[in-house]
A and B are shown apart, each in its own frame.
Chain A
Amino acid sequence: MDTSKLRVSPAPHLKSGHRVRPAMLDVALALLPVSAVSVYVYGMAAVQILVITVAATLLAQLAANAVWGRQGGLGDGSALVTGLLLALCFQAYTAWPALVIGAVLAIFVAKELMGGLGWNRFNPALFGRAGVYILAPLVTALTRTFGASAPAVDVVTGATPMVALARGLPMPSKISMLLAHPGGALAEVSALAVIAGGAYLLLRGHLKWRISVGMIAVVALAAAVGGRDPVYHILGGGLLLGALFMATDWVSSPVTPNGQILFGLGAGLLTALIRLAMPPAEGVAFAILIMNAFAPALDRATAPLRFGDQRAAAPAGRAA
């Protein structure tokens, strides 16, 4: 019997079939419903945002790989997911320089500068979106320089639901916010579409659901305590996208069950504070980014007790 084809590799010799690429493609698939509704509501404006942002993100990944001599990001699907998430954080009619700056910040600074997929401390898409917010003067200047069409602010939508909520303006109906309502970022167009995506991730076993539950619960509770309508606070703004897709980002959130719970509670609390105390502005994004910084510390503080550790819940003891 010939032994030349024997291949030696370490145990286990069976694998579960979980792989990074299919998981990333699942996330992209889960973002399809909300992307579709945004196109339905905003038409070509949404298509432009999605195409430009995803293309810019993929190109940024290509360039970053050349700079650092890496191969990741494209084949594993992570850049596609970052691009989609980033696009959904922008309002329709955002001029392209903002999208490109967001993509570059996400890939170059948040991801590859930290070491590439797996080493990023912050969620790349949120980092890119927040960066664009902070660098607003630069973005405006670039937009003028390139003569890119300036966003026609709110000509279509009027005040976004979150602005209306903060200013005490009349609110759209809850049903329309759930199904399809213009205003805010692309992802805010339909709560139901985002929830459907989250449900798909949960079904596929990709969702760190403890984070989502904690975050949404705290925001709702804080709104109720603050005398606001919790339903509007859940359906409006970026909470659902944040709680189901951003805060649950594998790399930048804790791995321990208790760490995930604390992370979700913290992100919810910060979101509520920002929303109630400050003008409506990327509350969810900053809340999650701040919690990202604490993820490693949360993991260390909540490391599970080893099997049989005496401090664990008292074992049932010897059968009598």
Chain B
Amino acid sequence: MATAKSFPGGVHPPEHKEATEAKPIERPPMPKQLIVPLHQNIGAPAEAVVEVGSTVRRGDVLGKASRPVSSSVHAGASGKVIEIGPRLGPAGADVMSVVLEVDSQSDQTAADVDLAVDIESLTPDTIRARVAEAGIVGLGGAAFPTHVKLAPPPDRPVDTIIINGCECEPYLTCDHRLMVERPADIIQGAKLIAKATGATKIILAVEANKPDAAEELNRAGQGMADVEVMVLPTKYPQGAEKMLIQACLGRAVPPRKLPFDVGVIVQNVGTAISVLEAVAIGKPLIERVVTVTGELVKEPRNLLVPIGTPIRALLEMCGADLTQDCTVILGGPMTGIAQADLDVPVVKGTSGVVVIKARDAVKHLACVRCARCVDNCPMRLMPADLGIACEAANWARADKLYAQDCIECGVCAFVCPSLRPLVAWFKTAKAEIAAMNRK
């Protein structure tokens, strides 16, 4: 076990992980209905291959990847297609979705299937093809199609795979539980990823606040020369790819470049397990672990649920108190999206449903130039000045101040004493700059 360096900036938000970090992953009863968006990934949406009235079995394809950078979606339960149309998605916009009425007899894949796989006999192309077929995307939240990530350009040799077990977002523990409960599967998945990309070294990166996870991974990886567990000092946003690569390897990914430009591919622990399941038993990405937690959730739990489960069903299972002003967040509280409705489904990138008391709506003040955002920005930007440019809708200046390099981690807005909605502004600025550049 090695202890690594760190990355510049960052903060230490309250962790709030105690409610669920020791709770084993449970598989609750099937919900009555699944709402499966056809677009759950970065890139192009999938195209529906079923019709209203079609009967599907768990694992069947509902939508097929339409382009190279796209991802298929599958049925998380057996049942009948009762609707194909726009439904509210987690990002706040309508997404074309397939609605399934779940067959009450729908089986759940047995938990104890044999995931043995002979890595030596597999070619990179086979691995990529099975990953693509399974519709796997990054489960850390960004939801980039994994088969694309596993095909770095030939002139960018990859030497190291970093398996991201940082889970630096407060409240979330789904990755933590996977590391404690399925360390061997994570390592097998990582080896498949390494095989697909030609990497020779695997780093399992865990933050110091999860010593049990590090210990389990260490035990599972014992005697493997190419596998190293790295325990990183806990700091947000350690799970951001560029920060994590810096912390583990001391390699800085240049602005506007990608991890493979420094010979690295980063994959989330959940993604590694999905890759193993896809390659070993052909299981598509039809379910994921979701941490349902927050101060207003009576029974916080880590739940393994089918993709498409409405968050209403999750909150009913765990008992959420929505009688006071509250915020229901899909994802973690630093980067997750607050929901206006509960008929929104769990998608592949949904790591948690966090219900907390709503913050008082207070008008933000002018920037007082305290410099906390500048001191803590992990991308070394000037959020103070960028915020002032955005407030004035001066997008050309925002571009000059590198708005497009912002990773939207939320550190600046977290520390801002004037409560300025910096990240929200920067997201707008990115869209405006992109529109400007298209002209």
Binding site for B on A (CB under 8 A): 1-3, 5-16, 18-20, 23, 72, 76, 115-119, 206, 208, 250-257, 260, 299, 303-310, 312, 315-319
Interface membership of B82, Cβ < 8 A: no
Q: A19-B417, A72-B365 are in contact. Are A7 and B382 (CB under 8 A)?
A: no
**Residue in B closest to A206 when the chains form the complex, CB atoms:** B370
Interface membership of B424, Cβ < 8 A: yes
The B138-172 residues at the A interface (CB cut-off 8 A) are 159, 170
Selected contact of B13 from candidates A16, A251, A310, CB within 8 Å:
A16
Structural contact, B327 and A9, CB atoms closer than 8 A: yes
Interface membership of B224, Cβ < 8 A: no
Interface membership of B359, Cβ < 8 A: yes
Selected contact of B320 from candidates A1, A206, A310, A318, CB within 8 Å:
A1
Structural contact, A12 and B423, CB atoms closer than 8 A: yes
Interface membership of B255, Cβ < 8 A: yes
Besides A10-B421, A10-B423, A304-B374, 4 more A-B contacts (Cβ < 8 Å) are A118-B418, A251-B368, A309-B380, A316-B249
The 6 A-B residue pairs whose C-beta atoms are closest, nearest first, are: A118-B366, A316-B250, A12-B410, A10-B424, A7-B358, A255-B371
Selected contact of A6 from candidates B14, B253, B327, B372, CB within 8 Å:
B327
Structural contact, A305 and B334, CB atoms closer than 8 A: no
Structural contact, B340 and A8, CB atoms closer than 8 A: yes
| A13 CA / B322 CA spacing, docked (Å) | 17
Residues of A within 8 A of B417 (CB): 18-20, 23
**Residue in A closest to B338 when the chains form the complex, CB atoms:** A8
Q: A6-B326, A13-B333 are in contact. Are A307 and B251 (CB under 8 A)?
A: no
Structural contact, A11 and B325, CB atoms closer than 8 A: no
Interface 0/1 of B346-379, CB less than 8 Å to A = 0000000010101101000111111110110011
| A116 CA / B367 CA spacing, docked (Å) | 11
| A315 CA / B264 CA spacing, docked (Å) | 15
Selected contact of A13 from candidates B251, B255, B359, CB within 8 Å:
B359
Q: A253-B369, A255-B384 are in contact. Are A5 and B338 (CB under 8 A)?
A: no
Structural contact, B405 and A306, CB atoms closer than 8 A: yes
Structural contact, A18 and B415, CB atoms closer than 8 A: yes
Residues of B within 8 A of A316 (CB): 249-251
Selected contact of B366 from candidates A12, A116, A319, CB within 8 Å:
A116
| A9 CA / B152 CA spacing, docked (Å) | 37
Structural contact, B252 and A307, CB atoms closer than 8 A: yes
Residues of A within 8 A of B315 (CB): 1
Cβ distance B360 to chain A, nearest Cβ, rounded Å = 10
Interface membership of B324, Cβ < 8 A: yes
Structural contact, B359 and A6, CB atoms closer than 8 A: no
Interface membership of B413, Cβ < 8 A: yes
Structural contact, A9 and B358, CB atoms closer than 8 A: yes
Interface membership of B11, Cβ < 8 A: yes
Residues of B within 8 A of A18 (CB): 370, 372, 415-417
| A173 CA / B247 CA spacing, docked (Å) | 53
Query: Main SS of chain A's interface residues?
Result: loop
**Can you list 21 pairs linking A and B with CB atoms under 8 Å apart?**
A1-B316, A5-B326, A6-B342, A7-B327, A8-B338, A11-B337, A11-B423, A12-B333, A13-B329, A13-B333, A15-B413, A20-B418, A115-B366, A117-B368, A256-B371, A306-B402, A306-B405, A307-B8, A308-B242, A309-B254, A318-B263
Residues of A within 8 A of B356 (CB): 13
Residues of B within 8 A of A254 (CB): 371
Cβ distance A107 to chain B, nearest Cβ, rounded Å = 16
Please tell me the size bucket of the interface on B.
Answer: 35 or more
The B364-417 residues at the A interface (CB cut-off 8 A) are 365-372, 374-375, 378-382, 384-385, 402, 405, 408, 410, 413-417
**Residue in A closest to B424 when the chains form the complex, CB atoms:** A10
**Residue in A closest to B341 when the chains form the complex, CB atoms:** A3
Interface membership of B69, Cβ < 8 A: no
Q: A20-B365, A250-B369 are in contact. Are A14 and B380 (CB under 8 A)?
A: no
Interface membership of B257, Cβ < 8 A: yes
Structural contact, A15 and B263, CB atoms closer than 8 A: no
Structural contact, A5 and B324, CB atoms closer than 8 A: yes
The B264-292 residues at the A interface (CB cut-off 8 A) are none
| A72 CA / B363 CA spacing, docked (Å) | 12
Q: A16-B414, A19-B419, A299-B385 are in contact. Are A304 and B370 (CB under 8 A)?
A: no
| A308 CA / B324 CA spacing, docked (Å) | 45
Residues of A within 8 A of B316 (CB): 1
| A154 CA / B170 CA spacing, docked (Å) | 61
| A8 CA / B315 CA spacing, docked (Å) | 17
Selected contact of B336 from candidates A11, A119, A251, A299, CB within 8 Å:
A11
**Residue in B closest to A20 when the chains form the complex, CB atoms:** B417
Selected contact of A76 from candidates B13, B322, B365, B423, CB within 8 Å:
B365
Structural contact, B340 and A6, CB atoms closer than 8 A: yes
Structural contact, B334 and A6, CB atoms closer than 8 A: no
Structural contact, A14 and B251, CB atoms closer than 8 A: no
Structural contact, B320 and A307, CB atoms closer than 8 A: no
Residues of B within 8 A of A303 (CB): 382
**Residue in B closest to A13 when the chains form the complex, CB atoms:** B333
Cβ distance A249 to chain B, nearest Cβ, rounded Å = 9
Cβ distance B327 to chain A, nearest Cβ, rounded Å = 5
Selected contact of B415 from candidates A13, A16, A253, A317, CB within 8 Å:
A16
Interface core residue of A1, A76, A254, A299 (most chain B CB under 10 Å)? A1
Structural contact, A317 and B359, CB atoms closer than 8 A: no
Selected contact of A308 from candidates B255, B320, B367, B418, CB within 8 Å:
B255
Interface membership of B335, Cβ < 8 A: yes
**Residue in A closest to B339 when the chains form the complex, CB atoms:** A6
The B308-327 residues at the A interface (CB cut-off 8 A) are 312, 315-316, 320, 322-327
Structural contact, A11 and B372, CB atoms closer than 8 A: no
Cβ distance A210 to chain B, nearest Cβ, rounded Å = 10
| A208 CA / B372 CA spacing, docked (Å) | 10
Structural contact, A3 and B322, CB atoms closer than 8 A: yes
Structural contact, A307 and B342, CB atoms closer than 8 A: no
Interface core residue of B11, B325, B338 (most chain A CB under 10 Å)? B338
Structural contact, B255 and A306, CB atoms closer than 8 A: yes
Cβ distance A85 to chain B, nearest Cβ, rounded Å = 15
